[in-house]
Structure 1
Amino acid sequence: MMQNSLRLRLIFVFAFAALATYPSVHAESMDEMWGEQVAKLKASDGVRGQLFEQGNYAMFIHWGLYSQIANKYQGETYYGIGEWIMHPRMADIPVEDYKTVARDFNPVHFDADAIAQLAVDAGMKYIVITSKHHDGFAMYDSEVNDFNIVDATPYGRDPMKELAEACAKHGLGLGFYYSHNQDWTFPGGTRGPAITEGGEAADFTYYYENKCRPQVEEITTKYGPIEIVWFDTPGRIPKDYVEELVAIVRKNQPGALVSGRAGYGLGDYKSHGDMEVPHGNVDGLWETVDTTNDSWSYAWYDTNWKTPKQIIERLVATVARGGTYMLNIGPRGDGTVPVEAQLALRKSGEWIRRYPFVVYGTGASPWGHALPWGDVTVKDNRLYLSVFNLPDERTIYLPGLKTELESVTLIDGGEKIPLPYSMVERWTRIQLPPKLKEALVPVIEVELSAAPEVDSTWGLDPSVETTLLVEFADVERARKSKKGWMEKFGEWKHVVRAHEWEKGGQAFWDVDVLEPGYYQVALTYSGEGRLVWKVGVADGEAIQNEQNSSHNYQQFPIGWIEFPETGRYTIHVSCIEGDLEKASLKSVHFTKVDL
């Protein structure tokens, strides 16, 4: 056990050196971990594409031996994603010690029918569950290896069989997560033991031929039709092995999708980084994978649940960018789902039942990004406006909409209420009533004379704060790149920022201004020491101010800037004093000042 623990540490040092530089990890390291992905399919490509096109919302389930540990091992709590509890960055549990957890794993309260009903109540269309995670423990009756829930635990039942039956009963699709590269308990698997129980050397081929490949055969043949095989963290698995695994899926489940995390661009669709909702529209088939709190598997301490409104916002934002949203729950070791997660899912599901047309079978926003008050999905000639940030004066602005409007309707508590609207310059102004029945996210339907055509130039909304992300800026004499970091181990954050500034460097955006006057300017940034930022308007005034930067992308006010008249402006932001190399800008914010 001592030798195995040492080996795990050494493998971690070499394979995950990038992750060791806490708190930041460059996007290249993240992409390497999650594999080369290509969004190859479109909805028009047939049955497999229709799952994403029509469903748009799914349940992810992380459940295994790690759920029994629940992030507390030998009396100590480890903060981070629980399914990695064996990892050296967490509890560093030796293989043989981890295997003993199975003796006490008895999820007698697991209720497949109740979980399927929860997915239905939440408005989800399919479920993907961990059949084998990196720990190597099979959550189904595997004939390939006895480290599984039927043979190694007192439970002795196959929950995957029960879930397959429940999904069929409730009209849900079913998919299986399978960690094809990492296996920390089987000889030869990535980070697994280097020798077999018989003392012989084991390489990756030994693991692949004796466990991985035959288990993929099992999960694609034992449970009837499945919708997805969700491979994960391909690392350096040989390409021909991935090709063979994909061929097995195609042979046994010709209608199933293969996740992009299979690696080498061999999957059908792209799965974005953990907990990442893109800010700009993305073509092809893709998904965001997110979780109801901060961790994926159950952690005893993690009660930071997403509210119903947060779930709706992230779901609609994903669909509005052109994707599918898969939201995770982490059942306890006894099989129960935390009540708080159930409450939030059911409450947000009630909203979806009131406004199914916002989510299902809809397309991406013609603006290509969120708007200051919320987001937009599209169905034929209709826009569906989901209002997350309701302005005090109840006025909603659409900048740059070129297509003629036929009608504007508030869909409120089952009622359809016509709304007054007007066109001002390049803006459409919609007036909501002072009181609304909808308490979560109001929905407005805009019917157009034709398919929507939009000038996607950013508009400074006069009613709510407008955020201009560096992701959408042109950058000169500075570097623009993606960065990821973990607040806790495995809790990913993502940002596109301008950094490594040179003298004269700037980020700039074109914007439309409807209402002239003064706007409060704020910046979200990080760095070291004190920085002086300058914000200006081309051929107009500029402001600058010094702020502390000993923080991680917090928002700070800089000052007021005036836009003297209605029209189009170019805004530029520069870091002009301080440690320019380490200054990192995420966004600039504008709020109309009432005078």
Structure 2
Amino acid sequence: MSLRLRVFVSLPLIIASIPSSIHAQESMDKLWGDRVVKLRAENAQRGQLFDEGNYAMFIHWGLYSLLGNEVDGKTYYGIGEWIMNPRMAGIPVEKYKQLAGQFNPTNFDAKEIARIAKEAGMKYIVITAKHHDGFAMYDSKACDFNIVDATPWKKDPMKELAAACREAGLGFGFYYSHNQDWTFPGGNGGPTTDEEGNPATFDDYFLKKCVPQVNEITTEYGPIELVWFDTPGKMPKEYVQQLVDLVHKNQPRALVSGRAGHGLGDYQTLGDMEVPRENIEGMWESVDTTNDSWAYAWYDEYWKSPKEILHRLISCVGRGGTYMLNIGPKGDGSVPKRAEQTLAAAGEWIHRYPQVVYNTAASPWHHALPWGDVTRKDNTLFLCVFDWPKSGKLYLPNLKTKIASANLLSGGESVPVTWTAAGDWAVINLPPQAPEKLASVIQVNLESEPIVDPVWALDPGMDTEVLAEFAEVENAKKGRKRWMEKFGEWKAVVHAHAFEDGGHASWEIDVHQPGEYNVSLTYAGTGRLVWSVAIEGGEKIQNQQNSSHNYQTFPIGWMNFSKAGRYTVSAKCIDGDIASASLKAIHFEPMQ
């Protein structure tokens, strides 16, 4: 990404050290020279860690972590930081406040957390100073409901973590819930009267707690890279502006998240767990978590694998953005071991291939390719291959710039590979085995700036998924659909739906290798649905398949593309409960 501070409207053990990778890193430093970006917080410019580091750690840790989603012997399934809310356990304010007397996180180790982040390849840490529950995880003078005054631990972990980050060369920042506060009178969702029974207004909360606390976190913990506000709701614009101005006054180098509200943030923050499928202009971030819950939940052992972490990270960097990945420490302050393991394994890969992640630009294809994704540095492309082609041929469609050289990277080694050009397509010849288990990297040096036609193209060697997000619709609708699998665990899809008579979704498809392709659709709906897929001016197929609520993929049949070139392919629901039909993607698998 290039550093462009733009304003957007926000959208609602195991590996203690890696000595083998150190030697590989030294070799890579020699190989890549000044291409290896060594960003450290103390010499970074405003926003540089965000803009060029591209990878950060988010930490949700608070009083709620002590419960781990279990209250009075009952487990509540969903995001742990909302456990107090009526939509979860509905814990009364006074009962929740009493939990502070049991909060004694003696296993908290700030240096260990900084080590985990650094070995994961992350460039800064953002941690919850105060979440919606109103409990301050630092020594706040604005409210005695804080970790120093209200707990037996009597320590300020934020002082320790800020110091540990500085020592490790990492940036440091705070999450602060500026609108919601469920325990302070007048806060959104909080008590409507004070302790004396007098009516409390939002101004009471904002002036007595919110503004003083934002002032505290931006003046008492050294240099701050970022203040991450959240859930502005209906907070008046002038209030948000006051907070943003306060952050910029106290911390001129700091960025403010897009979720401050009213378009007043310094960059755009996408929805929770949202990884975009198409390039996004300007500065933006995706926020995600290592399992399903942001805060610690005792039952949640569904961890993202190292490969999935890398895939989502490179997808964000390849779309032009930053990826901030969350961990949820336990109530005792310790980091779940499996979260540490998976971050460390992904981090080993990043330390071997730093040039792929840091200070890189978006893919010129504007979307992922069937085998993986691409990041770019000037006239150099880094092809990150997650699915190694069995044919030994990796296809680069519609690349109009000539290739100067191509090399397969493996740790500190760089092995030249051959390629051929067929029209605008380049075909790179690869060995039968991938050199990396997680993702292999091919460096392609171009003769000039990459020029690519980003039209969707069918890979001759593997399944190509083309999302409805990229379709044109007629007599149908295209929009974003969000739902929760569990409370707070958001899923999202851009889908084609509301098919009327003659309604369809269509795509322009580039075919390099003519022949037979098996066509499948990923969709949801009710009962058995009949779908039709057609090539404009060519053959049409249709089939009935059962539907699902969670977007399964169903085969429709074979289609023939008789010659190389551009085609328009359309899909529509023609029978069954058409009103329920929701199309996510179309797939083309070459029949060898």
TM-score w.r.t. length of structure 1: 0.92
Give 1:531's match in structure 2, choosing from 525, 529, 538: 529
- Which residue matches 2:418? 420
For 1:163-219, what per-residue CA distance to the aligned partner results, in whole angstroms no more than 9, with x for missing partners?
Answer: 000000000000100000000000110110011011111011111011111100100
Give 1:485's match in structure 2, choosing from 476, 483, 497: 483
- Which residue matches 2:25? none
Say yes or no: does 1:185 pair with 2:180. Answer: no
For 1:294-324, what per-residue CA distance to the aligned partner results, in whole angstroms no more than 9, with x for missing partners?
Answer: 1100000000001111010000000000000
For 1:364-417, what per-residue CA distance to the aligned partner results, in whole angstroms no more than 9, with x for missing partners?
Answer: 000100001000000011000000111212321010000010001000132211
SS of match in other structure, 2:311:
helix
What is the rounded CA distance, in whole Å, between the counterparts of 1:550 and 1:511 in structure 2? 27
Q: Is the 8 A contact 1:82 1:298 kept in 2?
A: yes
Say yes or no: does 1:553 pair with 2:558. Answer: no
Give 1:356's match in structure 2, choosing from 345, 351, 354: 354
Give 2:66's match in structure 1, choosing from 61, 65, 68: 68
Q: Is the 8 A contact 2:523 2:548 kept in 1?
A: no
Give 1:141's match in structure 2, choosing from 139, 142, 149: 139
- Which residue matches 2:382? 384
- Which residue matches 1:566? 564
Within-5 A mapping of 1:24-173: 36-37=9-10, 47-173=45-171
Q: Is the 8 A contact 2:504 2:570 kept in 1?
A: yes
- Which residue matches 1:342? 340
Within-5 A mapping of 1:6-21: none
What is the rounded CA distance, in whole Å, between the counterparts of 2:500 and 2:539 in structure 1? 22
What is the rounded CA distance, in whole Å, between the counterparts of 1:395 and 1:550 in structure 2? 35
Tell me the CA shift for residue 151 of structure 1: 0.4
Aligned residues: 553
> Partner amino acid for 1:90?
M
Give 1:466's match in structure 2, choosing from 464, 467, 474: 464
What is the rounded CA distance, in whole Å, between the counterparts of 2:228 and 2:188 in structure 1? 18
What is the rounded CA distance, in whole Å, between the counterparts of 1:117 and 1:419 in structure 2? 37
Q: Is the 8 A contact 1:413 1:437 kept in 2?
A: no
- Which residue matches 1:320? 318
- Which residue matches 2:373? 375
Q: Is the 8 A contact 1:538 1:570 kept in 2?
A: yes
For 1:265-313, what per-residue CA distance to the aligned partner results, in whole angstroms no more than 9, with x for missing partners?
Answer: 0000011000000000000100000000011000000000011110100
SS of match in other structure, 1:453:
coil
SS of match in other structure, 1:552:
coil
Q: Is the 8 A contact 2:47 2:253 kept in 1?
A: no
What is the rounded CA distance, in whole Å, between the counterparts of 1:205 and 1:591 in structure 2? 60
Tell me the CA shift for residue 435 of structure 1: 2.6
What is the rounded CA distance, in whole Å, between the counterparts of 2:189 and 2:438 in structure 1? 46
- Which residue matches 1:540? 538
Tell me the CA shift for residue 550 of structure 1: 3.5
What is the rounded CA distance, in whole Å, between the counterparts of 2:374 and 2:434 in structure 1? 19
Tell me the CA shift for residue 37 of structure 1: 2.4
What is the rounded CA distance, in whole Å, between the counterparts of 1:50 and 1:106 in structure 2? 36
Tell me the CA shift for residue 124 of structure 1: 0.3
Tell me the CA shift for residue 54 of structure 1: 1.4
Q: Is the 8 A contact 1:116 1:170 kept in 2?
A: yes
SS of match in other structure, 2:50:
helix
Within-5 A mapping of 1:395-406: 395-406=393-404
For 1:556-587, what per-residue CA distance to the aligned partner results, in whole angstroms no more than 9, with x for missing partners?
Answer: 11111111111111111111112222211010
Tell me the CA shift for residue 36 of structure 1: 3.3
SS of match in other structure, 1:502:
coil
- Which residue matches 2:30? none
What is the rounded CA distance, in whole Å, between the counterparts of 2:328 and 2:469 in structure 1? 32
Q: Is the 8 A contact 2:68 2:330 kept in 1?
A: yes
What is the rounded CA distance, in whole Å, between the counterparts of 2:272 and 2:46 in structure 1? 23
Gaps of 5+ in 2: 1-7, 12-43
What is the rounded CA distance, in whole Å, between the counterparts of 1:56 and 1:126 in structure 2? 10
Give 2:200's match in structure 1, choosing from 199, 202, 205: 202
What is the rounded CA distance, in whole Å, between the counterparts of 1:503 and 1:88 in structure 2? 44
> Partner amino acid for 1:37?
S
What is the rounded CA distance, in whole Å, between the counterparts of 2:281 and 2:352 in structure 1? 28
Tell me the CA shift for residue 436 of structure 1: 3.4
Say yes or no: does 1:270 pair with 2:297. Answer: no
- Which residue matches 1:578? 576
What is the rounded CA distance, in whole Å, between the counterparts of 1:187 and 1:74 in structure 2? 26
Tell me the CA shift for residue 51 of structure 1: 2.5
Q: Is the 8 A contact 2:60 2:326 kept in 1?
A: yes
What is the rounded CA distance, in whole Å, between the counterparts of 1:126 and 1:52 in structure 2? 8
What is the rounded CA distance, in whole Å, between the counterparts of 1:580 and 1:343 in structure 2? 46
Say yes or no: does 1:280 pair with 2:271. Answer: no
- Which residue matches 2:16? none
Give 2:407's match in structure 1, choosing from 400, 409, 433: 409
Give 2:428's match in structure 1, choosing from 422, 430, 436: 430
What is the rounded CA distance, in whole Å, between the counterparts of 2:71 and 2:516 in structure 1? 56
Report the aligned-residue RMSD.
1.1
Tell me the CA shift for residue 443 of structure 1: 0.2
Show structure 1 runs of 4+ deviating over 3 A: none
What is the rounded CA distance, in whole Å, between the counterparts of 1:36 and 1:452 in structure 2? 31
Select between 174-183 and 413-422 the one with higher mean Cα deviation: 413-422
What is the rounded CA distance, in whole Å, between the counterparts of 1:204 and 1:270 in structure 2? 26
- Which residue matches 1:12? none
> Partner amino acid for 1:36?
V
Q: Is the 8 A contact 1:49 1:285 kept in 2?
A: no
What is the rounded CA distance, in whole Å, between the counterparts of 1:380 and 1:234 in structure 2? 38
> Partner amino acid for 1:403?
T
- Which residue matches 1:23? none
Tell me the CA shift for residue 548 of structure 1: 1.5
Q: Is the 8 A contact 2:116 2:344 kept in 1?
A: yes
- Which residue matches 1:213? 211
What is the rounded CA distance, in whole Å, between the counterparts of 1:569 and 1:483 in structure 2? 28
TM-score w.r.t. length of structure 2: 0.92
- Which residue matches 2:17? none
Gaps of 5+ in 1: 1-34, 39-45
What is the rounded CA distance, in whole Å, between the counterparts of 1:317 and 1:260 in structure 2? 20
What is the rounded CA distance, in whole Å, between the counterparts of 1:249 and 1:139 in structure 2? 19
For 1:489-509, what per-residue CA distance to the aligned partner results, in whole angstroms no more than 9, with x for missing partners?
Answer: 011111100111101011111
Select between 54-63 and 385-394 the one with higher mean Cα deviation: 385-394
What is the rounded CA distance, in whole Å, between the counterparts of 2:244 and 2:76 in structure 1? 36
For 1:461-497, what per-residue CA distance to the aligned partner results, in whole angstroms no more than 9, with x for missing partners?
Answer: 0111101111111111101001111111011111100
What is the rounded CA distance, in whole Å, between the counterparts of 1:437 and 1:480 in structure 2? 41
> Partner amino acid for 1:454?
V
- Which residue matches 1:15? none
Give 2:243's match in structure 1, choosing from 233, 245, 263: 245
Tell me the CA shift for residue 251 of structure 1: 0.8
What is the rounded CA distance, in whole Å, between the counterparts of 1:434 and 1:479 in structure 2? 44
Q: Is the 8 A contact 1:187 1:202 kept in 2?
A: yes
Select between 127-136 and 419-428 the one with higher mean Cα deviation: 419-428
Q: Is the 8 A contact 2:363 2:375 kept in 1?
A: yes
What is the rounded CA distance, in whole Å, between the counterparts of 1:585 and 1:533 in structure 2? 10
- Which residue matches 1:28? none
What is the rounded CA distance, in whole Å, between the counterparts of 1:497 and 1:339 in structure 2? 37
SS of match in other structure, 1:314:
helix
